[in-house]
Structure 1
Amino acid sequence: MKSTMHLAAQYLATAAISFIPKKDDDSHTNLGWVNHALETHPFPNGDKLGLNYEHFSLEWKYSNGNTEHLLLNNLKHKEIVEWISQMAAKNDLRNSYAYNLHYELPYPPISETTSFAITNQNELNHLIKNRDLAQYVISNVLEANHYKSPIRIWPHHFDTGAFINVTEKRSIGLGMATPDTIINDYYFYISGYNGHQPIDVTITNSSTKKTYYNDGWQGFAMSISELDKSSAIDFCQTAINTYINSEK
């Protein structure tokens, strides 16, 4: 279900590309996580498009709080595109909807007959649990350190992340990534930067050293299978403290 939800999230990304004024950092395409659903930034008319994990549906979220749903199970790509286009026209969005991405995904190309289906409900429930954990941990870490940052999901790599400017030059990226070449599981990561360059840190603690990566990508990472809410917060805080103390 991971690839299915990643692909389904691209309808939100392409809606954002179609309707929301472009930002140079692509942040107009990133998504929020609210009540077990992804959602776009507001469109010019105040509406949003959502992807509800519990109902496996797209949601047209009106600015007045009302919602219209499109159940995705066994729907074809062509039908989904038509629904979004109709909703956009009905709600007076000036731009027409187009399913056009400016990045590549690690899946076969979408065709008009590509369909979506719930193949594993337990796996879908697990994906919800992962996103909930990421939202909880990141928000608690931000609050504990008095950091201000939106927590957003980027539709390309599908990570949940926040970015904090600690000083004028130093910044920290914090989030949960999907399985990749670093760790073949969902994992929390913390990376520090001096300007655009990764911060080099000296690790003396043997347990901390096991979670530090310095081959291509520099930062701390740990599989969520080894963490609960409390230990995940502790892991993130320890990594942040390591970067903060490296300034001294």
Structure 2
Amino acid sequence: MMNTSELTLKPQDLTESRLQLHYAVQFIAAVGKALVPPKPDESHVSLGWNPQLNYFVSEIIPAAKPFQVALDLVTLTSLILDRKGNQIAEFPLDQKTLAEGINWLKGEINKLGAEAQKIALIDYPSDFPDSPLARGAVFDATQEPQRRELMGYYADTYLLLQDILATTQGSSPVHTWPHHFDMATLITLPGMHDGEPMTIGVGFSPGDTSYNEPYWYVTPWPYPETTNLPALEGGGFWHTENWVGAVLKAFEIKDKKVQIRDFLNSAVKAAQFLLQSVDRLD
């Protein structure tokens, strides 16, 4: 796990690179939406993580030559890999537009025998972050240190979430969601509340409208009352504006490799306690 005491970048230094990556992963999401069989939880459009390569990846796409689409975060390169992770084709996104990227992807996928004509960028609601990239601007690969740092956060989070999956019943596979660009697992608890499942989202955001910096979160659903929320370990705190969840901001982490794990473990326990209290009231 990264040594956060060695970080020299400030939160605002990551914003532009975060947006560039957020738009770059839309190629993977577009392929998933078009060519992966739909799933009830919409995870067919989500991004997987390859921990050996530290790439975002799609599912394996069935075709005459099965493949998956990937993104190298550090070099900002769109890739097509075979089912073993070997590279078939690459397209450096630097100084290229979204349209050029999707056209390259469709051309390469057509060669592999899949229905490339179905692929189109996903049209999200108004809360998708704005960027000049949406209006024809080109990608810019100059900020490699920032992208490398963001890659490290995702790589570390993937390992932390795998630990949670191994020890927590009801945990979903780890997905990164292209709409908000957060990597997460969803823990489903026994019982219902008002006809809805009780869940705990555990994940990482590289920054958004709530916090313009990377942070980890644990969100119980339904949202609990905000009075007498349990104390959290690792320097975490409770966010209560518009949504309720435990938060640990990356740039407040000291030189403690266990701090994120302590936060997540304590926040999951706190969320379980809060939801069990709701269940007892039903």
TM range (shorter): 0.7 to 0.9
Identity of paired residues, percent?
21
Superposed counterparts of 1:84-123, under 5 Å: 84-104=105-125, 105-108=128-131, 110=133, 114-123=137-146
| Matched residue SS, 1:140 | helix
Given the alignment of the two structures, is residue 173 of structure 1 paired with residue 201 of structure 2, yes or no? yes
Q: Does the 8 Å CA contact 1:30/1:154 hold for their aligned counterparts?
A: yes
Separation in 2, partners of 1:225, 1:209: 11
Q: Does the 8 Å CA contact 2:232/2:266 hold for their aligned counterparts?
A: no
For residue 59 of structure 2, what is the amino acid of its counterpart? H
Using CA pairs below 8 Å that are at least 6 residues apart, which structure has the higher relative contact order? 2
CA deviation map 1:9-54 (0-9, x unaligned): 1111112122223334321110012122111122233421000113
TM-score (norm 1): 0.87
Mean alpha-carbon deviation: is it higher for 236-245 or for 92-101?
Answer: 92-101
Q: Does the 8 Å CA contact 2:235/2:263 hold for their aligned counterparts?
A: no
Q: Does the 8 Å CA contact 2:236/2:263 hold for their aligned counterparts?
A: no
Structure 1's 93 and 167: CA in aligned 2 closer, same or farther, altered over 3 A? same
Q: Does the 8 Å CA contact 1:77/1:115 hold for their aligned counterparts?
A: yes
Q: Which residue of 2 aligns with 1:214?
A: 240
Structure 1's 200 and 208: CA in aligned 2 closer, same or farther, altered over 3 A? farther
For residue 211 of structure 1, what is the amino acid of its counterpart? F
Q: Does the 8 Å CA contact 1:162/1:173 hold for their aligned counterparts?
A: yes
Given the alignment of the two structures, is residue 129 of structure 1 paired with residue 152 of structure 2, yes or no? yes
Q: Does the 8 Å CA contact 1:190/1:219 hold for their aligned counterparts?
A: yes
For residue 160 of structure 1, what is the amino acid of its counterpart? M
Q: Does the 8 Å CA contact 2:233/2:263 hold for their aligned counterparts?
A: no
Mean alpha-carbon deviation: is it higher for 160-169 or for 62-71?
Answer: 62-71
| Matched residue SS, 1:123 | helix
Q: Does the 8 Å CA contact 2:74/2:144 hold for their aligned counterparts?
A: no
Given the alignment of the two structures, is residue 23 of structure 1 paired with residue 39 of structure 2, yes or no? yes
Of 37, 40, 60, the residue aligned with 2:55 is 37
Q: Which residue of 1 aligns with 2:249?
A: 223
**How many aligned positions are there?**
245
Q: Which residue of 1 aligns with 2:70?
A: 50
Given the alignment of the two structures, is residue 9 of structure 1 paired with residue 25 of structure 2, yes or no? yes
Structure 1's 5 and 181: CA in aligned 2 closer, same or farther, altered over 3 A? closer
Q: Does the 8 Å CA contact 1:137/1:229 hold for their aligned counterparts?
A: no
- CA shift, 1:184, in A, is 2.6
Separation in 1, partners of 2:31, 2:48: 14
User: Which consecutive residues of structure 1, in runs of 5 or more, have no partner in the other structure?
Assistant: none
| Matched residue SS, 2:117 | coil
Structure 1's 226 and 85: CA in aligned 2 closer, same or farther, altered over 3 A? same
Structure 1's 9 and 204: CA in aligned 2 closer, same or farther, altered over 3 A? closer
- CA shift, 1:242, in A, is 1.3
TM-score (norm 2): 0.77
| Matched residue SS, 2:191 | coil
Structure 1's 220 and 206: CA in aligned 2 closer, same or farther, altered over 3 A? closer
Separation in 2, partners of 1:109, 1:122: 21
Separation in 2, partners of 1:108, 1:207: 36
Of 249, 253, 260, the residue aligned with 1:232 is 260
Q: Which residue of 1 aligns with 2:79?
A: 59
What's the Cα RMSD here?
Answer: 2.5
For residue 107 of structure 2, what is the amino acid of its counterpart? Q
Separation in 1, partners of 2:234, 2:98: 46
